[in-house]
């Protein structure tokens, strides 16, 4: 299988999936999501693989959804001229958005242990991707942000923040658009280890190798059990309800007005008007 | 409506509700609870208001329920002279307690983002009041405690501690009656920010005004989504069951014996007898 937006390699029992669009800071377009989904399926099916590492090429892990190329074909949503895809046929919009949620959830529910190796920016859809992995190892320069509320979006399609940093911090981060450093993320328990930038690959490898020495059936059984404990706390249902909140907000007037301004005005004027609008 | 136990003001998009009984460290009597309730309804309806700040005058945020004036008249509950109000007609007691319970939950369910601005002592029902808010900004001198178990009460009507500081810390704190400082509260995720006392108002208003810049529907949608996530973890049902536990405990012989003759004996003698009983 040839991938264009990711790299798939393996070393011993460890599969490495690398987001490989460094020129756009690994922004996730539809193709990248599809390829990542496929690569995960391959790693899951390969009996030689016991641990999966997810990482990004270039200066950062991922800047989130690719706003330019996402979705691949906006016209297919039948939005009228110069409107965004989510203003098109609502059934198609829903289906597309639910697919993105499934793609995130698939990663979480893989039977094999996953490690996210995070450096630099880890923004919005990038944060969700890292969060869906079992373990996160971050370099000191890593920063986690979900700054999309000012653009009228209710976060990403999945709501990982209250699970990762607690609901009080989640509200603050989302409502102000501010980020947290790797060290803060470690304090909140959302990353397992913070290491120097030049040690990141080595440390991740060591962790993956160490985990791979555990009997794979036992590993997978504890993963099931811990993920079920999360589900009993409501993890899965919280994402299922959130995607509908996300959709109803995107289909609402406020978002449409905000977005129309964004198309009609240049960026500076848009930001000025946006900030003025709520003063 | 004019208020006598609180102040209600608005500055741009921010409504400020100020507990205003500094002479008794903002102990909450029935009237104050009703006025907070009324002020919240008012600010939730006022379209100019986008963020609500709950704060208080004087050295402390709140000393909790006003034990002298809550309820105003034990005899009206059917208790005989010298008895506690909870010794009265159990149905009346229930209705009264459920009302307090609903008033607390209503703060959490307000559509608009709320910020508690906390200085000094934040005790028992004071902590509950702060906890019902989405975000908490505390001054360095703030301290949180719920020291009511020694007086036979199972904490407050709403059990916020396991959610605010974690199960193990909650048990320790409740069972020993200790307090946690602002810096510990920050570490445990109970508060969002800790600032010097002289900067408390300025920092809180800055945060409120920053949040007010986010599209309003989007803000409310994320509040719904994060609160539902907490509900899926069991928050609401945990509270609904706790209020029954609280009532059962108030109606117990243990509680009755502990408080027998309390009205006549003075605090010192009550404490001496209390400590005697379990040695």
- Residues B6-33 have pLDDT tens digits of 999 999 999 999 999 999 999 999 999 9
Flag whether B28 is in a domain.
Answer: yes
Q: How far is B198 from chain A (nearest CA, A)?
A: 22
> What mean pLDDT do residues B98-127 have?
97
Region of A106 please: left (phi>0), alpha (psi -120 to 50) or beta. alpha
Least confident of A274-278, B184-188, B264-268, B270-274: A274-278
Of B175, B93, B100, whose CA–CA distance to B132 is shortest? B100
Binary contact (B234, A233; C-beta < 8 A): yes
Nearest-by-Cβ selection for A275 from B189, B213, B233:
B213
Contacts of A257 (CB under 8 A, 6+ apart): none
Q: What is the pLDDT of residue B279?
A: 63
Contacts of B189 in chain A (CB under 8 A): 165-166, 168-169, 188
* Helices B235-250 & B216-232 angle (0-180, nearest 10): 60
Enclosing domain of residue B207: 6-276
Under 8 Å CB-to-CB from B91, ≥6 apart: which residues?
A: none
User: What is the 8-class DSSP label of residue B140?
Assistant: T
The whole-angstrom separation of Cα B5 and Cα A28 is 54
From chain B, the residues in CB contact with A149 under 8 A are: 214-215, 218-219, 222
Question: Chain B interface residues facing chain A, Cβ-Cβ under 8 Å?
Answer: 12-13, 50, 113, 134-136, 187, 189-193, 207, 210-219, 221-234
Structure tokens, B158:
């709403």
Q: ipTM greater than 0.95, yes or no?
A: no
Give every strand in the sheet of B143-145, ordered side by side. Answer: B121-123, B143-145, B179-181
The answer to whether residue B111 is domain-embedded is yes
When CB atoms are compared, the residue of A171, A241, A278 closest to B228 is A241
The burial of A138, by beta-carbon neighbours within 10 Å (0-12 exposed, 13-18 middle, 19 or more buried), is given as buried
The answer to whether residue A234 neighbours chain B at the CB level (below 8 Å) is: yes
Which pLDDT value is given to residue A278? 63
* Kind plus residue range of the DSSP H or E element containing B127: helix B125-132
Phi, psi angles (nearest 5°) of residue A71: -85, 175
Question: How many whole angstroms separate alpha carbon A181 and alpha carbon A79?
Answer: 39
Q: Closest partner residue to A154 among B13, B222, B234, by Cβ? A: B222
Q: Please tell me the predicted confidence (pLDDT) of residue A210.
A: 96
A-chain residues near B210 (CB < 8 A):
175-176
Tell me the pTM.
0.89
A106 at B interface, C-beta within 8 A: no
SS3 state of residue A38: helix
Q: Confirm whether B24 is domain-assigned.
A: yes
- Taking 80 as the threshold, does the pLDDT of residue B277 lie above it? no
Let me know if residue B1 belongs to a domain.
no
Q: Do B60 and B25 form a contact (C-beta atoms < 8 A)?
A: yes
DSSP output for B204-263: HHHHHHHHTTS-HHHHHHHHHHHHHHHHHTTHHHHHHHHHHHHHHHHTSHHHHHHHTTHH
In a domain, B78, yes or no: yes
Backbone angles phi, psi at B96, to 5 degrees: -65, -45
How far off is chain A from B73, nearest CA to CA, in Å? 38
Average pLDDT over residues B86-106: 92
DSSP for residue B198: G
Whole-angstrom Cα distance, residue A39 to residue A9? 10
Using a CB–CB cutoff of 8 Å, tell me whether A124 touches chain B.
no
Per-residue pLDDT at A2: 87
Q: Examine residue B208 and state whether it is found in any structural domain, yes or no.
A: yes
Whether residue B51 lies inside any domain: the answer is yes
Q: How many structural domains does chain B have?
A: 1
- Give the per-residue pLDDT at A88: 86
What confidence tens digit (pLDDT) does each residue in B198-251 have?
999 999 999 999 999 999 999 999 999 999 999 999 999 999 999 999 998 888
Nearest Cβ partner for B229 among A162, A168, A275: A162
The answer to the question of residue B17 being in a domain is yes
Identify any residues that bridge with A18 across adjacent strands, giving them in sequence order.
A7, A55
Coil/strand/helix, residue A96: helix
Instruction: For residue A225, give how far its alpha carbon lies from the nearest alpha carbon of chain B (Å).
Output: 17
Element (H, E) at B15: strand B14-19
How many CB pairs below 8 Å do chains A and B form together?
123
CA pair distance B147, B154, nearest whole angstrom: 10
pLDDT tens digits for chain A (279 residues)?
A: 689 999 999 999 999 999 999 999 999 999 999 999 999 999 999 999 999 999 999 999 999 999 887 787 878 888 877 777 888 888 899 999 999 999 999 999 999 999 999 999 999 999 999 999 999 999 999 999 999 998 888 999 999 999 999 999 999 999 999 999 999 999 999 999 999 999 999 999 999 999 999 999 999 999 999 999 999 999 999 999 999 999 999 888 888 888 788 778 888 888 888 777 665
Give, rounded to a whole angstrom, the gap between the first and last alpha carbons of chain B. Answer: 52
**Largest distance between two CA atoms of chain A:** 59
Domain with B83 in it: what CATH number?
3.90.226.10
Name the residue of chain B whose CA is nearest to A276's CA.
B213
């Amino acid at each position: 299988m040839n991938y264009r937006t990711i790299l798939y390699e393996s070393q011993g029992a460890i599969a490495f999936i690398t987001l490989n669009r460094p020129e756009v800071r690994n922004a996730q377009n539809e193709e990248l999501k599809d390829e990542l989904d496929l690569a995960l399926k391959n790693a899951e099916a390969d009996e030689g693989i016991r641990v999966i590492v997810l990482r990004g090429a270039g200066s950062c892990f991922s800047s989130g959804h690719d706003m330019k190329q996402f979705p691949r074909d906006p016209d297919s949503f039948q939005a009228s001229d110069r409107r965004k895809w989510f203003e098109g046929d609502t059934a198609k919009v829903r289906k597309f958005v639910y697919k993105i949620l499934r793609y995130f959830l698939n990663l979480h529910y893989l039977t094999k242990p996953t490690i996210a190796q995070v450096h630099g920016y880890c923004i919005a859809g990038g944060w969700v991707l890292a969060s869906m992995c079992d373990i996160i190892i971050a370099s000191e320069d890593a920063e986690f942000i979900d700054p999309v509320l000012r653009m009228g979006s209710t976060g990403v399609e999945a709501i990982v923040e209250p699970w990762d940093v607690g609901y009080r911090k989640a509200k603050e981060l989302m409502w102000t658009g501010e980020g947290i450093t790797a060290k803060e993320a470690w304090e909140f328990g959302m990353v397992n280890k913070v290491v120097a930038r030049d040690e990141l690959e080595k440390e991740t490898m060591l962790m993956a190798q160490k985990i791979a020495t555990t009997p794979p059936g036992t590993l997978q059984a504890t993963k099931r059990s811990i993920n079920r404990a999360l589900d009993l706390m409501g993890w899965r249902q919280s994402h299922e309800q959130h995607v509908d909140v996300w959709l109803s907000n995107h289909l609402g007037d406020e978002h449409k007005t905000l977005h129309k301004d964004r198309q009609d005005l240049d960026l500076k004027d848009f930001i000025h008007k946006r900030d003025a609008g709520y003063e | 409506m004019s208020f006598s136990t609180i102040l209600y003001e608005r500055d741009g998009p921010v409504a400020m509700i100020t507990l205003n009984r500094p002479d008794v460290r903002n102990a909450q009597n029935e009237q104050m609870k009703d006025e907070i309730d009324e002020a919240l309804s008012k600010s939730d309806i006022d379209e100019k208001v986008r963020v609500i700040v709950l704060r208080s005058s004087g050295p402390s945020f709140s000393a909790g329920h006003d034990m002298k004036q809550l309820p105003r008249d034990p005899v009206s509950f059917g208790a005989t002279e010298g008895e506690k109000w909870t010794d009265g007609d159990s149905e009346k007691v229930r209705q009264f307690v459920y009302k307090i319970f609903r008033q607390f939950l209503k703060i959490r369910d307000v559509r608009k983002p709320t910020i508690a601005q906390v200085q000094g002592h934040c005790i028992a029902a004071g902590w509950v009041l702060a906890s019902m808010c989405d975000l908490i900004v505390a001054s360095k001198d703030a301290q949180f405690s719920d020291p009511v178990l020694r007086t036979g009460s199972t904490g407050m009507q709403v059990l916020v501690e396991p959610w605010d500081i974690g199960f193990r810390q909650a048990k320790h704190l409740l069972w020993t009656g200790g307090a946690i400082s602002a810096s510990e509260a920050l570490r445990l995720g109970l508060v969002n920010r800790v600032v010097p006392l002289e900067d408390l108002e300025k920092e809180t208003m800055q945060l409120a005004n920053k949040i007010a810049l986010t599209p309003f529907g989007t803000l409310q949608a994320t509040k719904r989504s994060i609160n539902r996530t907490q509900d899926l973890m069991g928050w609401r049902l945990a509270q609904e069951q706790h209020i029954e536990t609280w009532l059962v405990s108030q109606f117990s012989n243990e509680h009755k014996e502990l408080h027998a003759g309390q009205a006549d004996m003075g605090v010192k003698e009550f404490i001496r007898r209390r400590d005697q009983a379990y040695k």
